[in-house]
Structure formats: C-alpha cells, structure tokens
Structure 1
Amino acid sequence: MDSGISGIISCYNSEAFIANTLDSIFNQTTALSSLIIVDDCSSDATIDAVHRYVTARGLDAGTVSVLPNRINLGISMSYNLGIMACRTKYAMLFSHDDISHPDRVKSTLNAFAEGAAIVCSYMDVPASGQKITLPEMPSLVALGLALGNVVPAPTVSLDVDIARQNKLYFNPQNDYAEDYDLWCQYILRGYSFHVVPEFLVAYTLHDQQASVTRQAHQKLVAERVRLQYLRSLFPFLQPEQSEVLVRILLYEKHMLGHISQSFNEAILNGMEKQSVAPGVQSVYGYVRQMLTSPVSAPVTVQ
C-alpha cells in the first residue's frame, strides 16, 4: 500500500460546485497521491464536468479515477466505496462543494506522522462569518460528541488500514447523520481525534444541502445516534443523567462542587467497573480527575 494520501469525493448533482472544489484540491502545497470521485448516479452533468476538468488540467487516470454508481446508493455507501478503492495508507474526505485551504494536505500528513488514526480541523463558513472550532484535547472532543456532532465532516481524514481492520465505515442506516455515527464509533473502538487547530476548510452554504432539504430527518437520526453513544459511553447512568454530567463537565464546571456525593460515587464506581477501549478510558480519566480534584486544578488527562 502506498504510504501517501488519497482524496475521496462523493458527488451527487455537483456540476455547479465541482470545478471550484477540484481547484482547491489540485492547488495544495503538498499534492495528493490520487483522487477518487464516486458519482452517486447524478442526474446532471457532474461526470462531464469532472472529465472536462481532468482534460483541461492534463491529469491522467492514475491521478483521478471516477467511479459512477449505476444506482443511487446514498452518501454512506458512496464514501465506503471510495475508502475500499483507496490504495494509499491515508484518505482525505472531501465534500463536493467545499473549498480546502492550500495547506490542508500538508497539515493533515503532519498529524498522521504523529500517530493519529483520524484527523480533523477547524472550519469556517464565509457566507455567514461563522468560525467552527473544537478543543484540541481528545477527551473533550469525545465528550462533546455526547451532546451533538462537534466534528466538521468536510475536514476529516483517516488511516485506511485502521478503518478496514476495525470495519469503521459509514452506516447507510444513519444517512444524513452518517458522519456523526462514525465519529462516535471511532471513540467507542478506542481511537481519538487529532485536531489540527487551523481553518483548513471553507464550508459552502446553499439550498441543495441535506441540512436544508432533509433537516427534520437529519435531526431525528442525529438524536438517535447521540442517545446510543451516551448509553455506550456511560452505560451505568440514565441518558438524562449522562447528559447533565457532560454539560457540567464541558460548560458548567463551577457546578461540580454541587454534585451530590451519592451521584458522584455512582459515576466513579460505574467507570471503575467498566472494561472499555482506550478512547473511552481517556474520557473516564478526564471525568475522574474533574470529579475528584478542585475545579481550579490543571487538567492533564488526554
């Protein structure tokens, strides 16, 4: 397997956006080894637009491969097909309509060189001025996922070997929140997010996005994923109790001293009895330190 990094794009009716996205991919300061484009049975001229771009750039089949789905399979299966077709050690996931910073590949490879299994970064939304950041401490990212999807999907890259060995693929049953579900599975399988504290992707807003066209369904699926993750993370608590605990740990640390002794002991005893993967163990380490140390004490658990 090539030690480099490939890009994977899942496209569906991307004709209006794909050229700008491809420009940002091929203007990287460190080049991708290859790009895999999975077209999910687009009804517009997406594939023609890709072929025109490839020809104009003088790119060859070894650099860009186009995999057209014969039927619409959905975003999960399309990305999975791209991951399975990948011949490099790492894969960078691209949205068909977002713009990558020129140093995205370079910064991501630096993170993988430090031993990361899955990498993400900050993301900005130029149309709204929003800046999406997340904590660099892996245990805080894991806790944040218990309240919602804090990881910007268009910024994620992964170690292909780890994904394949652990069958860490997108679940089509959770389409429209498939990314959220997969991030939770990484934590529960023992892996942590490496956060690159740079704005490496610019998110494009438009009215064709699933977050607009399938908003209600997306919320339902995301809530189901969240509750499943909460139950897996803290199986010894009720989901409502787990949510209160996480909110206090992330946003209301001044309330730690007001947790009843019996609840505190139930949490500590529950964690002690669990046999969990390293990713969850790091979360438990953080929770344990926060519950047993003064709020002002420095946090060292990763």
Structure 2
Amino acid sequence: MKPKITIIMATYNRAHFILETLETIQNQSIVNWECLIIDDGGTDDTAEVLASILKQDLRLQFLHRPDSYQKGLPGCRNYGLDMAKGAYVIFFDDDDIVHPENLKIGLEVLETNNVDFCHYQKLAFETERPLIVNNPITFQQYLTKADIDKVVSQEIGLASCTVLWKKSCFNRVRFNENLLYAEEWECYSKLISENFKGVVISNVLYYNRKHANSNTGEFYSNNPIRRASKKEAILLVIKNLKEKQLLSSSLLRYFVTQATDFKEYNLFTQIITLLELSIFEKLKWQFFYSTFPLRLSVYKLKITFRKI
C-alpha cells in the first residue's frame, strides 16, 4: 500500500534515544505511513540498535544521506523529500516523543479544511516522560501570508516538528543546506510567503526533549557555528521578504532588535546594506539600534518596580 504520509527523520548519534521515538511513531492510530530515517554520517551504533525494529516493521527505512546532499539537518531533510512517497510530509526529530493521534489529527484537519498544512503545539520535557493527554481538536486560527509578521517574529512558532504539510508545498521551496541552525525558520517563513494556507490548532501533539547536545541547546550555549547560522538565516529571511514586498516596518524593527544580539557579526550593518535604505532611513534605524539597549533597560526597570 502506498503510504499517505511520509515521516522524515534525520539522525546523528542518537542510538540512546531513537528507539523510544520510533516506538511512539509505531503507536500512531493510523497505519498508512512510511518513516525515512536519514543517517547523517553518525559514528555510534545506531544501525545495530535499529536492526531488529527495521526487520519487524517495513514502514521504517534506514537510509544514508548521499554525498550529493550537504551534511546536516537540511541536507537530510531535502534527501527525505526527494525519496518521499506520501502525499503529505512531516519532520520528526530522533530524540522526541510523538502523540499517538499526531498523524490522524493533522490529516483530519488538512482534509476537512482543504488547506496546505496543519500546525499543532509541542511541549518540552527533560528526563521524565510526559503525560499524554487526548483532547478534542481545538481550532485556533487560519494561517496565511497575511500572518507573515507573526510567523517570522515567532509569535506563531512553526517549529520543524509541529507541522504536517502537503508534499506539494516543497515543489519549489527546500531547506537551505548551508544553514546549521534556524533552517526550519528560514524555510517555513519562505513557505508562508508563498501564500500556502494552513490551520493552527491548540492540541499538543509533540513532546520535544531538552538536552545540552541538541542544536537548540548548543545555540543557547553560544556555539559559534549555530550562532553564525542564525545570523545567515536572518539575512536570508529579510532578502526573501524584501523580494516579495512583505517586509513591514514592524518586522524591520524586529530584525534590528535581533541584530543587537549579533554584534560580533556586525549584523545591523549587513541588514542596512541589504535593504539599500535612503540616508534618512539609515539614520533613523541607526538611532533605533543604538538606543535600544538603553530603552530595554528602562523597560525592565519599570516592570520590576510594578512588581514591588
């Protein structure tokens, strides 16, 4: 039977977590799926750990990323997209927990509302396995290009593993393989700017494991590779928004604010150069950028005094 949904899972040295993740995928309430496990050149015993489960369940496939795709999550995911047989695709990480109704609910929302994607919520955990709760589907809102500000600023956080997509959404848009962090933010922002339409639901259908060795953990530990990638992702998102004439004043303010955290890359100057602003606009944003730390300190003081 041809799978209706393709699950794409990049993996790298996660032998100690991946079986638990795959078991929650096998426990999905619908069965018509395939799971492509894309090895990114790991050096642990993942292949040996998976040998038994791969024999038992042919829906699970263990593949090695070809050299024609760059090393990293984006390359693995792009390879998975090229190999996917399902009409729908979803990206799961190799160290998390998936709600048993994840695929069923996402598919029902997509088909009922005739949209391109379904975005649900996630819940973080560290060591203790989360309590799985079954709730009725709770509609939150439709999501379109008109909401690009909320997506880019992550007011609506389209995390890599919280969206079920029609595979056709990726016909022209792929993950940037030069990025080693924030690749899903850059990719998903571009997809929304292409005017694909989706539905946001309030249901928690995914549980992400927090640990220091994750890409996110490394970013917040000031890993220079992850930070440099986020800086590049910011510039790529700005370039795309500029080309599509979707860069609002509020979004530019957001990016300039972000630049204050990337002074080592001189990100503010790169943003201003990319946008080709007039002299007046340059001076206005230079003033905003220079005074932002002071205004932020005053704001925090006000919040503190209000709590006293």
Is the contact between residue 148 and residue 192 of structure 2 (CA under 8 Å) also seen in structure 1? yes
105, 113, 116: which one pairs with 1:107? 105
Q: Does 2:17 match 1:41? A: no
What residue in structure 2 maps to residue 121 of structure 1? Answer: 120
Letter in 1 for 2:8: I
Ranges in structure 2 where 5+ consecutive residues have no aligned partner: 131-138, 256-308
The 10-residue stretch of structure 1 (231-240 or 22-31) with the greater mean CA deviation from structure 2: 231-240
Matched, 1:153 2:153: no
Residues 194 and 220 (structure 1 numbering): CA distance in 2 closer, same or farther, change over 3 Å? farther
Tell me if the contact between 2:118 and 2:201 (Cα under 8 Å) persists in the aligned partners. Answer: yes
Task: Kindly state the Cα deviation for residue 126 of structure 1 after the two structures are TM-superposed.
Answer: 2.5
Instruction: Give the counterpart letter for 2:161 in structure 1.
Output: P
Percent identity, aligned pairs only, is: 19
Alignment partner, residue 69 of structure 1: 65
Partners in 2 of 1:16 and 1:3 — Cα distance?
28
- The structural deviation recorded for 1:70 is 5.6
**Contact 2:17/2:94 (CA < 8 Å) preserved in 1?**
yes
- How does 1:137-286 map onto structure 2 within 5 Å? 137-139=142-144, 141-148=147-154, 150-164=157-171, 166=172, 168-214=173-219, 215-230=223-238, 232-233=240-241, 242-244=251-253
What is the distance in 2 between the residues matched to 1:212 and 1:116?
33
Residue in structure 2 matched with residue 253 of structure 1 by the alignment: none
The Cα offsets for residues 207-262 of structure 1, whole Å up to 9 and x where unpaired, read as: 2111223444434433443354346446779876544489xxxxxxxxxxxxxxxx
Take 2:151 and 2:207, find their aligned partners in 1: how far apart are those partners? 22
Moved more, 193-202 or 68-77: 68-77
Aligned-pair distance for 1:41? 1.0
- Distance in 2 (alpha carbons) for counterparts of 1:144 and 1:155: 16
The separation in 2 between residues aligned to 1:11 and 1:187, in whole angstroms, is 27
**Following the alignment from structure 2 to structure 1, what is the Cα–Cα distance between the partners of residues 36 and 251?**
40
In the alignment, does 2:82 pair up with 1:84? yes
Distance 1:68 1:54 in 2: 14
Instruction: Give the secondary-structure state (helix, strand or coil) at the position aligned to 2:185.
Output: helix
Q: CA RMSD in A?
A: 3.2
Residues 1-20 of structure 1: matches in 2 within 5 Å?
Answer: 2=2, 4-20=4-20
* Corresponding residue for residue 270 of structure 1: none
Of residues 179-188 and 109-118 in structure 1, the stretch that sits farther from structure 2 once superposed is 109-118
The 3 A distance-change label for structure 1 pair 21 and 238 is closer
Counterpart for residue 269 of structure 2: none
Q: Which amino acid aligns with 1:23?
A: E
2:3–2:32 Cα contact (<8 Å) kept: no
Matching residue of 1:249: none
Name the amino acid aligned to 1:170.
F
Cα 1:234–1:15 change in 2 (3 A) is same
- Give the secondary structure class of the aligned counterpart of 1:125: strand
Q: Which is worse superposed, 149-158 or 136-145?
A: 136-145
Contact 1:124/1:201 (CA < 8 Å) preserved in 2? yes
Question: Taking structure 1 as reference, are residues 6 and 232 closer, same or farther at Cα in structure 2, changes over 3 Å only?
Answer: closer
CA contact (8 A) 1:32 1:105 kept: no
